[in-house]
Structure 1
């Protein structure tokens, strides 16, 4: 089946279109310039449109965890004015922590000297002030914090070891109660009963542990050690949590200012006693911004700050700044500018020869400017349309430059392959129709790949693909207008024999004999007058690499034993790739969003080391209880049996249940529970007790107030790390799903763990849809169906190879590798399509000679495009970011595997399975007519081949 009619129609259109450019080149130059200038006004909105890199960008859209969180919020909504019962809050926004350790390795933080340093630090943190209050007043932590009631049990423990009990402990800003108690020790407000300070502190902690207040106090201690009686004897880390009000936009902005000020202050806090790690809700955003700034900021000398400057000790001093932020916003190096200049220089070198006439530096500069203008226009247009932009989009220019430069090399190769003895207009028609058709196929497949990516299940992937698709569209438009006009002007200069830099006419030049392929006849062997005239018009040498692909490389590739070895290696490659796919690791860990030397990465590592035993809490709620048919069983017995299912599993510990607290309280006070009085005594007796006030957030009644509607419990999570989050989430959800009561579960790690379940099916479905669309385009625009089949096969084998070799290079399948795999569908088709299109154009000669011509035409562009892409993305290696380095690794895999398919695998498969009756005759090593046939074939095609103008 052939679809050549469409290809011929498009080629004829381009032949007429280039005539228009030949007559009006400056029009096609000015229009893209004016359009770029107009659209570039959208860049002023990039700061407004920038979307902070919060976790929401890296978790699946419409994930089940989002629905669970929404239901939990509807049932137990918490605002900033509710009592801050930390384990009952599911909203972690504007919350953070500071972890303090002794500067001595494994030092005990419960020593008075360490606690004194911690207390001084906390006092300074509370004094951090920001502007923005009413009447231009400044606000400190106490003015914007969320307050919480001190546990009555903890207050009782204080009373047991101290002489007094002060009312100041009843409510305070979120902090560590141990620090508050120690502050009272030092102030003399509370005196220990017959104990030293060391003994009193240890007694306080030990009593907390013994009184089941581990969840309230000892969760704030890490690396706890015990004595021979299993009593707490020390700890290696202490946590200072904080929480800020953020229910309104005004409050949220104040909280953001305070957190940024906190980061600035703590990163410069000097101490020879303690070392500090911190995590804020702004950590991911600020660290991601640092990496982004390294890509786009101009070089400048960073300010040098003295950490022991007295101003550092004053947290309200506006001059205090984060050194890591300073070094990011004023980097000594920037990646985008050197990348642009390097690619510009590389493109110029690729377009230049030893001849001043046939070198094309201005064409190279025009091509790079065309791609840069396309990137600017693509980004600006979406910004004008109000689209958001993220840090990951700043990687997009590195990708688009590779596509744009590929188009430049293809266009130049097509012009070089035209005959010098024909007229300028005929040469331009032939070159432009061939190159534009090939560029149309590749641009359309790239556009389709990224358009499909716009529907991926991750917001970050969608935004990146949206901007990439926009930039590719402008790249294609500017390629057919701005760059084509530059190509026309450059070609006219060549024909006029003018200097490539000064444009002055060169009166005389040295004519060089043709020194190309040995299969072409020398001048002395020219028998045809037309061939000899063509030879006499050549004043420069052919491109050595192009001749290498047509002669030496093709001869080597077409040897039977070489083809056998390559096919065997290809089978081994597929086997290794499939094995790698089976061993693939999924997901993105939170610390991989941060640089390895960042404060956030350190905080997560310290948190994992000292506070992993007791993590966050699982929210379990049973709802629609008023409609549940209990079959004559008491509702509290049914709830108790459900609670027990979630306790002491592989990833959970004990629970905090209102039901158990109530039953214990009723037994202690000899209160009998029946089905008739259960709701009454629950509402009017149990919940009215001050010590049980926190349980009001766990119970909902129906509209009549006589039936229990919703019940919630909190279950302690244990040993849940990044390696087992997906498994833990699946186990806990399965428990809820198998329950006889409608049950929902949610933990804060659910949202991030969702990516593990969504990334693989999302990637495979995206690849499948994009591949189907690309195959359809290939069938319509490439004239031979069998050629389209092998392009399809190469897409599959390239993607299998990328997925498999990601495992060997320690790259997990996550949203960033998903982006590059989406690109690979278009990228691997680029190399394959260029080769396949040139191979399928002329069926009048045998498949081996057609492959020689195809390699001659596109071998050099494939090498140049692949090398320019790797050169461009290599600049990302210097940025300390897992995301950027993962992007670099996967791009290198895409380009390397795609180029090897285009230069090795596909040429063998296309010639081996081509429906060409001459193939066997052409490759017969026994036939002495092989050389004669090849010479005759070469003579018929050498007019265009030997006069390829570089």
Structure 2
């Protein structure tokens, strides 16, 4: 099933033989039967392949079909595996243009290695670079030491994988990952390559690798080869598979193995049929047990858990000094691998912009580009002399008056401008000429103006144009309102680009101070404007975060306060204001650690990440509320260790669920193609992860310390002994105000003091919500909610316009608005590149080119044929009108050369890319032309224009047509934003279901969690549209966030409902809301407090973030407190409810001996439950106490349900 190896071509073989050195050794393993070692032996050169080694490898793989070995292990001698091919050899092959023959030879070597009957293994130690990655991609299994480095570096040499390895790489990684790996040319660690899926096994000790590899040698080599052949046969045919199968079945290997198995004794096993409804509580149960143990450990040894997180935060905080900030808005907010970027590259590869070939209107990059517009005041005509003179003065000021000092030298525009053929800087002198023509009565055609044999395109320079017809019926220019000027500076080398950037900034300063002109108003924009404005956005966040942090501290402190019963005096034992401050600080530490650690790892940062702390500090505060609430639900009579054990077993599992869903939802966000979203999601996900880690370490240690203070009756603020509440009337006012505290009422009682908020949700809110009329109204409300959300989704407007990246008082906003009004409506130019030019000597070919140009020029977003700037049209016009001679077909290229020579310094020559045909004749290999566009003002119009022109290009596949204008970079974002968002939502929902299945004991819960999440996300998208928010990169971040946050609300309530042991749906809703209603409300309120400071920032990005976060939190809370409880009470019964096995006695977590003579009512009143009533759930993870008699002694168990049916008094 494998073809014969292709021998290297004669010319190639000479070069390969010339480059000697090293060897490839094929050796049987001395101890392991069936293993063949292939060793690359050139350690002094990092085992880089010489020509001789390539030939040896080729000869060697011819013999891999031997039946003696089942496993072939490829490795390198010394500290490297292989660093690719010798660069000198590569240069010789390149110089001789033998890349094709080299591909034929080496690809056949890799193919033989890939399809050989033996299992092929690459054992990588050290560096595996360049061509070595291609060899390794061709083998079956890749094993690497943890310190190895993997580098797909071909693109750094300006080449592509040249040995056929790209085929195998795509088979391993898939197309998108393979393309990313090849194009990024990055060096991966072994762990990164393993995560990517390229490596199959990563080891630390050599023995681990040997054990892994030798494990494949245990079977007979013939059988091993047959297994490999069967997989190879899948690639070929059914018959090929059958051939291998027949050979194996008839072999002695199969018979012996079968006899051995038949002789073995196989015990009968009784298989239990699983129940219809499963409880998947394995993970939850083990997590709860682990966290319970952690709680006890932290209480006994709090110091390490306090000190280490602080030290680690300080260490990671150093990374804040090394932030690698990305400011390129085009890169950050446009999709990676977008078609427009490929289109830009196609133009740039053939017509790179240099300092000597600049043509206005042909540039494909806005690097170091300055745009200036002049608008005639009082609705004037910019072509009239006084207005034209004002434009001329402005242009002269820019070119001559703006200068900067750098290294002792002054630089002006003429020192930095891009030019064409040394012809000087591009300027707006033609405004003077055009004005003279206009004011002297010349008929000026539009958009293309011709004067004799010369002319130029005016559509992109003049805005607000009015036309009229002359006596011949030809449309001519009547008036115009605006003039558009472009100043393009040098951006290479780097030092010159820096100087150009400084000149841009100086231009902004001087134009800001430019004396007000009575005739024109000016707007301007330059290549750094978007980056500068993003930084301005970020700079406004720091003081706002300080305010948000302070508000959260105040809110947390207020929520932590408790009062002595029936008084307004603060209970300083139960109140924990300092602990609340530490909880918010814990979230701040997580933010610092997350940003710092990623910065140290080299992760790029962008200014939009500046809004992340507002979210993360809110998440941390939410978690703090859950922890404090959990410890409040434990008995004060228990030792602090047991209270912390219970607290973490309950709250930490709950926080684990929510943190997992938050982190994974942001993890899903990283698969989007917009870098700004990817970076934000990485920083936020990592920070939330550290929030969880610090919550169960640093804050848990703080909570343990304060629980000990509570156990000792100490003042939580001043850490002194408090005055008992019973003595409040006999102490001073100061003591009553600042040092009064409560104590447990009975050591036999489960002394839990429920806050009034919990009683409100359990005793007042839940019964009202469960009223049949209220439930009906809630369902109607839910339907109305879905209808309006659907209406909003139907009106969605996608895409982040560049203007929305600016602060509202930015100097660039008037510029964008003027472009929309005057220049994008009519006149902007589109470059069209024909990459595969036809033979223009054929008349029929030229006719087809005319037809293609006509297709573009007459489309709905094109101005028409009169806007086309095309060298072929000018050439034909030159010969037909000026020389009055036809274009001779056979002499076409010679005539073309004559035409271009006659137009000295005519930029049309730059629209041609020359090559040679098979006869050595100079021919046009590629070319471009330009057309004028219309109606590309709105994002919808821009998207339609992009797709329309690309569709026209696809009609001419033989020419490989590319269309491009800089605006396309953003329109691709408009096109991809909806698919990206839908993809993220679907994947995130699937991940959320999986998390719910793993961490919530009832699988049916996951269905309701997913439905609630989908409903919340549906509402966020719909209502944000109705609130004036586009679906763009900013709102996408919040939609991703809302997926995780919606799980927080839905999972808690759903889980609290199904684990409740109450008998009726209404009671289960009461249990869930009693335990969770107030913590959920606190969490939502804290998040809104954190982001409300963003509401009045005069920037679209910040206001959008505020609106979408408020929507996500509000709708999540609405579902958690209203819609979901009602839906659960109506539709979740029977199979989805956890049942209690009353016959099974559980091991209790708390046992309280009821002493002889004690009345059951004494116990029940202390626990908050009445004799004869059901004891109900008080926590989403955990249940209330259970009363039971064991050996005639009554005890109280926690985490189960029972009904008290016993005598009123125990004798």
Which TM-score bucket, shorter chain as reference?
Answer: 0.7 to 0.9
Q: Return the alpha-carbon distance in structure 2 between the equivalents of residues 883 and 935 of structure 1.
A: 58
Change (3 A) 1:5 1:681: same
1:91 corresponds in structure 2 to 365
Q: Do 1:787 and 1:910's aligned partners in 2 also have CA atoms closer than 8 Å? A: no
Which residue of 693, 702, 706 maps to 2:906? 693
Deviates more, 1:464-473 or 1:426-435: 426-435
Q: Do 2:831 and 2:930's aligned partners in 1 also have CA atoms closer than 8 Å? A: yes
Q: Return the alpha-carbon distance in structure 1 between the equivalents of residues 582 and 539 of structure 2.
A: 27
Q: CA deviation at 1:67?
A: 1.1
1:290 corresponds in structure 2 to 536
Q: Return the alpha-carbon distance in structure 1 between the equivalents of residues 766 and 844 of structure 2.
A: 84
Q: Return the alpha-carbon distance in structure 1 between the equivalents of residues 933 and 1171 of structure 2.
A: 78
2:524 corresponds in structure 1 to 278
1:805 corresponds in structure 2 to 1023
2:450 corresponds in structure 1 to 211
Which residue of 831, 841, 845 maps to 1:635? 845
2:49 corresponds in structure 1 to none
Secondary structure of 1:173's partner?
A: coil
Which residue of 644, 651, 658 maps to 2:861? 651
Q: Aligned pair 1:440/2:656, yes or no?
A: yes
2:953 corresponds in structure 1 to 736
1:671 corresponds in structure 2 to 885
Change (3 A) 1:844 1:12: farther
Q: Aligned pair 1:582/2:794, yes or no?
A: yes
Change (3 A) 1:267 1:202: farther
Q: Return the alpha-carbon distance in structure 1 between the equivalents of residues 915 and 1131 of structure 2.
A: 74
Q: Aligned pair 1:337/2:539, yes or no?
A: no
Q: CA deviation at 1:737?
A: 0.6
Q: Do 2:1175 and 2:1185's aligned partners in 1 also have CA atoms closer than 8 Å? A: no
Q: Do 1:295 and 1:335's aligned partners in 2 also have CA atoms closer than 8 Å? A: yes
Q: Do 1:616 and 1:716's aligned partners in 2 also have CA atoms closer than 8 Å? A: yes
2:1048 corresponds in structure 1 to 830
Matches within 5 A, 1:164-183: 171-178=423-430
Q: Return the alpha-carbon distance in structure 2 between the equivalents of residues 455 and 241 of structure 1.
A: 37
Q: Do 1:53 and 1:288's aligned partners in 2 also have CA atoms closer than 8 Å? A: no
Q: CA deviation at 1:225?
A: 4.7
Change (3 A) 1:475 1:794: same
1:353 corresponds in structure 2 to 562
* Deviations, residues 340-378 of structure 1 (Å, cap 9, x unaligned): 111111111111123122111111011000000100110
1:220 corresponds in structure 2 to 461
Matches within 5 A, 1:753-792: 753-792=971-1010
2:510 corresponds in structure 1 to 265
Deviates more, 1:502-511 or 1:443-452: 502-511
Q: CA deviation at 1:851?
A: 3.0
Secondary structure of 1:96's partner?
A: strand
Change (3 A) 1:422 1:731: same
Change (3 A) 1:689 1:535: farther
Q: Aligned pair 1:936/2:1169, yes or no?
A: no
Q: Do 1:220 and 1:240's aligned partners in 2 also have CA atoms closer than 8 Å? A: yes
Secondary structure of 1:724's partner?
A: helix
The RMSD of aligned alpha carbons is 3.0
Q: Do 1:771 and 1:795's aligned partners in 2 also have CA atoms closer than 8 Å? A: yes
Change (3 A) 1:507 1:801: same
1:746 corresponds in structure 2 to 964
Q: CA deviation at 1:690?
A: 2.3
Deviates more, 1:903-912 or 1:838-847: 838-847
Q: Do 2:625 and 2:1079's aligned partners in 1 also have CA atoms closer than 8 Å? A: yes
Q: Do 1:666 and 1:672's aligned partners in 2 also have CA atoms closer than 8 Å? A: yes
Secondary structure of 2:374's partner?
A: strand
Q: Return the alpha-carbon distance in structure 2 between the equivalents of residues 214 and 142 of structure 1.
A: 25
Q: Do 2:355 and 2:420's aligned partners in 1 also have CA atoms closer than 8 Å? A: no
Q: Do 1:615 and 1:720's aligned partners in 2 also have CA atoms closer than 8 Å? A: no
1:137 corresponds in structure 2 to 409
Q: CA deviation at 1:911?
A: 3.0
Q: Return the alpha-carbon distance in structure 2 between the equivalents of residues 128 and 443 of structure 1.
A: 58
Q: CA deviation at 1:634?
A: 3.5
Matches within 5 A, 1:366-405: 366-405=582-621
Deviates more, 1:273-282 or 1:230-239: 230-239
1:872 corresponds in structure 2 to 1090
Q: CA deviation at 1:118?
A: 3.6
Secondary structure of 1:105's partner?
A: helix
Going by fraction, where is strand more abundant, 1 or 2? 2
Change (3 A) 1:228 1:787: closer
Change (3 A) 1:852 1:591: same
2:10 corresponds in structure 1 to none
2:837 corresponds in structure 1 to 625
TM-score of the aligned structures, taking structure 2 as reference length: 0.66
* Deviations, residues 374-419 of structure 1 (Å, cap 9, x unaligned): 0011001111111111111001011111211110111111111112
Q: Do 1:845 and 1:937's aligned partners in 2 also have CA atoms closer than 8 Å? A: no
Q: Aligned pair 1:244/2:244, yes or no?
A: no
Matches within 5 A, 1:835-846: 835-843=1053-1061, 846=1064
Change (3 A) 1:915 1:934: farther
Q: Do 1:686 and 1:692's aligned partners in 2 also have CA atoms closer than 8 Å? A: no
2:1069 corresponds in structure 1 to 851
Q: CA deviation at 1:219?
A: 3.7
Which residue of 106, 112, 124 maps to 2:379? 106
Q: Return the alpha-carbon distance in structure 2 between the equivalents of residues 663 and 295 of structure 1.
A: 60
Which residue of 299, 303, 308 maps to 1:31? 308
Q: Return the alpha-carbon distance in structure 1 between the equivalents of residues 313 and 508 of structure 2.
A: 40
Q: Aligned pair 1:41/2:280, yes or no?
A: no
Q: CA deviation at 1:534?
A: 7.2
Q: CA deviation at 1:711?
A: 2.6
* Deviations, residues 870-904 of structure 1 (Å, cap 9, x unaligned): 11111111111111111111111100111111111
Change (3 A) 1:424 1:253: same
Q: CA deviation at 1:247?
A: 2.6
Secondary structure of 2:379's partner?
A: coil
Q: Aligned pair 1:5/2:320, yes or no?
A: no
Secondary structure of 1:688's partner?
A: helix
Any unmatched runs of 5+ in structure 1?
150-169, 183-196, 297-333, 513-530, 920-932
Q: Return the alpha-carbon distance in structure 2 between the equivalents of residues 231 and 25 of structure 1.
A: 85
Change (3 A) 1:43 1:532: closer
Which residue of 139, 142, 147 maps to 2:419? 147
Change (3 A) 1:357 1:258: same
* Deviations, residues 683-707 of structure 1 (Å, cap 9, x unaligned): 2x11211257322222223333344
Q: Return the alpha-carbon distance in structure 1 between the equivalents of residues 1175 and 359 of structure 2.
A: 88
Q: Do 2:1058 and 2:1136's aligned partners in 1 also have CA atoms closer than 8 Å? A: no
Going by fraction, where is helix more abundant, 1 or 2? 1
> With CA pairs under 8 Å and 6+ residues apart, which has the higher RCO, 1 or 2?
1
Matches within 5 A, 1:595-610: 595-610=807-822
Q: CA deviation at 1:130?
A: 5.1
TM-score of the aligned structures, taking structure 1 as reference length: 0.83
Q: Return the alpha-carbon distance in structure 1 between the equivalents of residues 1064 and 506 of structure 2.
A: 73
Q: Return the alpha-carbon distance in structure 1 between the equivalents of residues 1136 and 993 of structure 2.
A: 28
Matches within 5 A, 1:546-565: 546-565=758-777
Q: Do 1:375 and 1:397's aligned partners in 2 also have CA atoms closer than 8 Å? A: yes
Q: Do 2:1060 and 2:1071's aligned partners in 1 also have CA atoms closer than 8 Å? A: no
2:694 corresponds in structure 1 to 478
Secondary structure of 1:713's partner?
A: strand
Q: Return the alpha-carbon distance in structure 1 between the equivalents of residues 321 and 361 of structure 2.
A: 43
Q: CA deviation at 1:217?
A: 4.6
Change (3 A) 1:275 1:534: farther
1:662 corresponds in structure 2 to 875
1:884 corresponds in structure 2 to 1102
Q: CA deviation at 1:784?
A: 1.2
* Deviations, residues 275-299 of structure 1 (Å, cap 9, x unaligned): 2211111111111211111112xxx
Change (3 A) 1:480 1:128: farther
Secondary structure of 2:371's partner?
A: strand
Q: Return the alpha-carbon distance in structure 1 between the equivalents of residues 1086 and 943 of structure 2.
A: 40
Secondary structure of 1:649's partner?
A: coil
Q: Do 1:417 and 1:944's aligned partners in 2 also have CA atoms closer than 8 Å? A: no
